Amino acid sequence: MKLKLLTASLCAAALYASAAVADHGPTMVGGASMLPERNIIENAVNSGDHETLVAAVQAAELVDVLQGDGPFTVFAPTDEAFADLPDGTVDTLLQPENLEQLQTVLTYHVVPGNLTRDALWEEVMENDGTVAFKTVQGGYLSVIRNGNNLMVMDAQGNSANITVIDVAQANGVIHVVDRVLMP
């Protein structure tokens, strides 16, 4: 039931914030080409930098959702970002009894719409260097100007650098981040 509600929320939320993603061809992530005609899951499974994220999405039963129409903007933490969490955190989250908590953490990394770096930058500049975006989870992520770059800040006040921007997907865009964000 919760997964159906989550799917319905994602579909409804996808109508919000639909700036176009420019087609610059494939971007390399984790040593693999991320092909813009593939969806978020199809590309993520090929990235050598996102094995933990893919395992978590599978354990959270979110594969079908992230293969859906979208559009979605995903701030995708790398394997290294997951490894920086306190010891045992990932193993604990992946246990079946923690499904809801895992879904909460993962959907906190997803914002409805195609928010390219240019769209994010424009919003940030129009709002004096910082803007909050409502996530699919229901909380807010702040995108902050850091010189000529953008960072993402979670509800705990932790910031993540966007290390790869505008990875075009058939159903949205991915920005690779160097930290797991927490609601």
What three-state secondary structure class fits 102? helix
Q: Is the dihedral of CA 41, 45, 47, 52 positive or negative?
A: positive
Q: Are the C-beta atoms of residues 158 and 142 closer than 8 Å to each other?
A: no
Give 96's strand partners: none
**d(C-alpha 20, C-alpha 71), whole Å:** 10
Q: What is the pLDDT of residues 154-168, one digit of tens each?
A: 999 999 999 998 888
Q: What is the pLDDT of residues 96-127, one digit of tens each?
A: 999 999 999 999 999 999 999 999 999 999 99
Q: What is the pLDDT of residues 78-92, one digit of tens each?
A: 999 999 999 999 999
| One-letter identity of residue 161 | N
